[in-house]
Structure 1
């Protein structure tokens, strides 16, 4: 297979970290998640992925993705013909992991990412790639025109890289255009933001997170009527998901829970129902 060069912007380069995390995880005998497509994509991109070898954060990205997978799967269980929008889709393969062909699916990311993504994925009858910034209102017109909802928006490893004013704009945009929708997002507290230069993975790239969120429940206050349905750290995963992890992972997470490291406890995975 010919190698593809990844011409990506500074923040966009970070999509290669969870991609590599899923590829590495897939090779393990006892894996928390399997994604053979990620292995294929990593093998075909001309990039020095070895800079991320043996980093604990790779496991963190896999656990985060597993939580988002579970939330999307639960949504589609009750709303099989609903609409899922992957905000900052990168080279994610969530559609391959959880979709059953009935849902309407949109993969949204910046133009350089979608250009790379199109080398590995194609639009289909119920699946469409959108090249736009999440802060640009035009993509919401396309989603609203081509689907009826209900809607689930998955923003994994995206919003912390924006300024707070832009995060507020995105939440307002989603609430105004798609009332009653679900939004999954991760948040990083000040202990995470302040130690990025020492972060095992982010220290290997130039991108840095900008939005600090110390208290995720307060996100619901941004829009009257919004509700925080769930908020988890990597050491307080949903019980059903935690119990399905390999024993070595459960043991590792128990040890991290005792240490209560700010870099771990201030990073949260959240599910919000918008008004």
Structure 2
């Protein structure tokens, strides 16, 4: 039997194991929202007590977020097959395995301890590059700019809310300064959600806490004159291109949540911006 890999991750970095497990659990279902056999393989290879997350509603929310981000990236790759995709805070995401088109350029960036784990499961190629860096240190942009071309898609999934509040604007404007016209997908959490993290179903199981609350995604566009919010929705307002393809059980669940108008479903949003 192959020994399972022990992981030593920082406090915030540990949160990457939640969406990884969510995709692995989803892959086991007979009628899943997405397929991710690679995630299931990685979970089986890591020495970590994933059972602490069993049955949590946030696992489904994570899968739906990923499904939407996948769709946004795929839409660009359909229009521009040789686009560049940059995963900010890539964690152990497997978006490349799910939707790569054989032509796009990919960069997967995260902190050094995460990249150390990531290199156990993924190998760089001529179109796929791993970068050990912080989203708050724009030095990573030299690597991206020197070996890729526009259009650019930046995916920051479950990343920016965990940054210090003052670091978020600098991270976004730093992208604008180097990659004008790029698309940026990110999630935002409203003040009520950030203020109630200790009761959050998943975050209560780990030490990490979100630091940046965003009541209105237009706030992000205001940091960058000329930026435009192309899409913004909560989990109950997914675009029809995504929601119509979900399993029936998910569609019924989301319809019920929409009727309740719960803050945790309304204030947590998925956003797509066109940067100037």
Question: Which residue is equivalent to 2:76?
Answer: 75
Q: Please give the alpha-carbon distance, in whole angstroms, between the structure 2 residues aligned to 1:100 and 1:93.
A: 14
1:244 counterpart SS class: coil
1:186 counterpart SS class: strand
Question: Which residue is equivalent to 1:11?
Answer: 12
Question: Which residue is equivalent to 1:265?
Answer: 266
Output the TM-score relative to the length of structure 1.
Answer: 0.99
Q: Please give the alpha-carbon distance, in whole angstroms, between the structure 1 residues aligned to 2:145 and 2:91.
A: 22
2:244 counterpart SS class: helix
Counting only pairs closer than 5 Å after superposition, residues 123-202 of structure 1 correspond to structure 2 as 123-202=124-203
Question: Which residue is equivalent to 2:211?
Answer: 210
> How far apart are residue 133 of structure 1 and its match?
0.1
> How far apart are residue 163 of structure 1 and its match?
1.8
Q: C-alpha offsets along residues 181-236 of structure 1, whole Å, 9 cap, x if unaligned?
A: 00000000011101110011000000000000001122211111000000010000
Q: C-alpha offsets along residues 131-179 of structure 1, whole Å, 9 cap, x if unaligned?
A: 0001111100110001122100000000000122111001110000000
Larger displacement relative to structure 2 (42-51 or 214-223) = 214-223
Q: Please give the alpha-carbon distance, in whole angstroms, between the structure 1 residues aligned to 2:211 and 2:264.
A: 15
Q: Please give the alpha-carbon distance, in whole angstroms, between the structure 2 residues aligned to 1:260 and 1:211.
A: 23
What is the root-mean-square deviation of aligned Cα atoms in Å?
A: 0.6
Question: Which residue is equivalent to 1:84?
Answer: 85
Q: Please give the alpha-carbon distance, in whole angstroms, between the structure 1 residues aligned to 2:264 and 2:212.
A: 15
> How far apart are residue 11 of structure 1 and its match?
0.2
Question: Which residue is equivalent to 1:38?
Answer: 39
1:125 counterpart SS class: coil
Q: Please give the alpha-carbon distance, in whole angstroms, between the structure 1 residues aligned to 2:217 and 2:240.
A: 20
Q: Please give the alpha-carbon distance, in whole angstroms, between the structure 1 residues aligned to 2:81 and 2:171.
A: 25
Output the TM-score relative to the length of structure 2.
Answer: 0.99
Number of equivalenced pairs: 275
1:185 counterpart SS class: strand
Q: Please give the alpha-carbon distance, in whole angstroms, between the structure 2 residues aligned to 1:79 and 1:5.
A: 39
Question: Which residue is equivalent to 1:245?
Answer: 246
Structure 2's unaligned 5+ residue stretches are none
Structure 1's unaligned 5+ residue stretches are none
Q: Please give the alpha-carbon distance, in whole angstroms, between the structure 1 residues aligned to 2:162 and 2:10.
A: 13
